[in-house]
């Protein structure tokens, strides 16, 4: 595994951590898997160093590298003292990872601890301002100033690449529900993610879901996620999206919502440009997210193939968050974990027996 920061430093290319990476270092937040880099160089100087470099279609980014540790998002500038303006001044803090010194060329320090996101530069489309605000409040201790929501217009459509990036960046934060609530309030979700918006109009029975409707349940479930995994996080966001499109049959109010949700999620993720493997994994997690609830009631021949999947531990994570969001006890989750551990133990025993 190569280390882009060290490689550029060794080639005497001046670099700083920028945007969310600098802010997360400042606030001591360790959550996101992306690293934002500001390089005082021309893009070709960096491109020759990395065979896997890809050119970006996102605002404020020239290229990115994919590694086992996540993406490195690179922006090139002529001078660190003359950088491109950002929608929010807090995004103009920089950090030198080699000298461990912060760099504040535009005197934005007073904004860092204000607690409110304030716009200093209005020369951006509304969608970009809202996107950046949603990302910031999802990962850092900021709230949105009321003026931000005044006269938001969605006349300009955000690019597909920007929407995909937005989804993953919000979910990579420790407080994704804050970002999604802002997107809902701004009108973005209703305008561009209608299948998710329908969750806000789908009511639950208060006997089973005292936390609220499908949207409120989902936002609550995100609070119980213990770590960031892209497939897990997207599946948790969409695990009940099918409830808005399923039918009531007998006493089953949302009959087949898991299968319906998997199909809706596939169309949504295809629209945002996710690859086929990612979509397949998310569909699996949504389609079978109810399985751990019934694990103790089902015979092994019906569950062994699913428990053999490397994705099964993520199903258990969804089960825990889903159950916790409804304020239920976790005995069913612990029982499912015991059954799974027993299955793995027996599976290993049988595999070893093969070689005797």
One-letter-per-residue 3-state SS of the chain: CCCHHHHHHHCCCCEEECHHHHHHHHHCCCCCCCEEEEEECCHHHHHCCCCCCEECCCCCCCEEEEECCEEEEEEEECCCCCCCCCCCHHHHCEEECCCCEEECCCCCHHHHCCCEECCCCCCCCHHHHHHHHHHHHHHCCCEECHHHHCCCCCCCCCCHHHHHHHHHHHHCCCCHHHHHHHHHHHCHHHHHCHHHHHHHHCCCCCCCCCCCCHHHHHHHHHHCCCCCCHHHHHHHHHCCHHHHHCEEECCEEEECHHHHHHHHHHHHHHHCCCCHHHHHHHHHHHHCCCHHHHHHHCCHHHHHHHHCCCCHHHHHHHHHHHHHHCCCCCHHHHHHHHHHHHHHHHHHHHHHHCCC
pLDDT (tens digit per residue) in 161-191: 999 999 999 999 999 999 999 999 999 999 9
- For residue 21, what are its two tokens? 């990476």
Residue 255: its pLDDT value, please? 66
Q: Whole-number mean pLDDT of the chain?
A: 89
Confidence of residue 352 (pLDDT cuts 50, 70, 90): low
Confidence of residue 32 (pLDDT cuts 50, 70, 90): low
Q: How far is CA 14 from its chain centroid?
A: 30
Q: Given a cut of 70, is residue 126 above it in pLDDT? A: yes
Residue 316: its pLDDT value, please? 97
- Which residue from 26, 56, 30 is spatially nearest to 43, judged by alpha carbons? 56
Strand partners, 232: none
Residue 147: its pLDDT value, please? 73
Instruction: Report if pTM > 0.95.
Output: no
- For residue 225, what are its two tokens? 């996620």
Residue 264: its pLDDT value, please? 97
> Which residues contact residue 11 at a Cβ distance below 8 angstroms, ignoring those fewer than 6 apart?
49
- Which residue from 26, 5, 8, 20 is spatially nearest to 102, judged by alpha carbons? 26
Residues 244-272: what's their mean pLDDT? 86
- For residue 66, what are its two tokens? 């994919």
Q: Given a cut of 70, is residue 54 above it in pLDDT? A: yes
Strand partners, 36: 73
- Which residue from 281, 235, 296, 280 is spatially nearest to 261, judged by alpha carbons? 235
Residue 251: its pLDDT value, please? 61
For residue 173, is it left (φ>0), alpha (ψ between -120 and 50) or beta?
Answer: beta
pLDDT (tens digit per residue) in 138-161: 999 899 877 777 667 787 889 999
The C-alpha atoms of residue 21 and residue 16 are separated, in whole angstroms, by 10
pLDDT (tens digit per residue) in 60-115: 999 999 887 788 999 999 999 888 889 999 999 999 999 999 999 988 888 888 88
pLDDT (tens digit per residue) in 306-351: 999 999 999 999 999 999 998 888 999 999 999 999 999 887 765 5
Residue 11: its pLDDT value, please? 94
């Amino acid at each position: 595994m190569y280390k882009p920061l060290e490689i550029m430093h060794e080639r005497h290319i001046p670099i700083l951590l920028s945007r969310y990476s600098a802010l997360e270092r400042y606030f001591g937040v360790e959550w996101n898997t992306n690293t934002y880099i500001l390089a005082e160089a021309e893009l070709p100087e960096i491109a020759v160093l990395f065979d896997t470099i890809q050119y970006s279609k996102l605002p404020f980014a020239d290229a990115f590298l994919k590694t086992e540790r996540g993406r490195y998002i690179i922006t090139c500038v002529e001078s660190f003292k003359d950088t491109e303006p950002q929608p929010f001044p807090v995004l103009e803090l920089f950090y030198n990872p080699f000298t461990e010194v912060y760099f504040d060329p535009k005197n934005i320090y007073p904004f860092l601890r204000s607690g409110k996101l304030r716009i200093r530069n209005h020369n951006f489309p509304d969608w970009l301002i809202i996107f950046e605000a949603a990302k910031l409040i999802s990962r850092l201790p900021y709230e949105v100033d009321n003026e931000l929501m005044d006269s938001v217009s969605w006349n300009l459509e955000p690019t597909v690449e920007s929407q995909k990036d937005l989804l993953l960046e919000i979910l990579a934060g420790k407080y994704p529900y804050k970002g999604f609530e802002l997107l809902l309030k701004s009108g973005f979700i209703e305008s561009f993610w209608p299948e998710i918006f329908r969750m806000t109009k789908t009511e639950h029975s208060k006997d089973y879901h005292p936390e609220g409707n499908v949207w409120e349940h989902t936002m609550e479930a995100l609070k119980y996620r213990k770590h960031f995994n892209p497939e897990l996080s997207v599946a948790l966001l969409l695990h009940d999206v099918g409830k808005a499109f399923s039918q009531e049959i007998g006493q089953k109010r949302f009959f087949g919502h898991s299968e319906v949700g998997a199909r809706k999620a596939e169309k949504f993720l295809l629209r945002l440009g996710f690859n086929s493997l990612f979509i397949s994994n998310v569909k699996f997690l949504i389609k079978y997210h109810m399985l751990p609830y019934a694990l103790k009631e089902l015979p092994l021949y019906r569950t062994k193939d699913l428990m053999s999947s490397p994705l099964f531990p993520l199903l258990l994570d969804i089960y825990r968050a889903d159950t916790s969001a409804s304020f239920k006890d976790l005995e069913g989750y612990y029982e499912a974990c015991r059954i799974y551990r027993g299955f793995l133990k027996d599976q290993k025993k049988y595999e070893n027996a093969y070689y005797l």
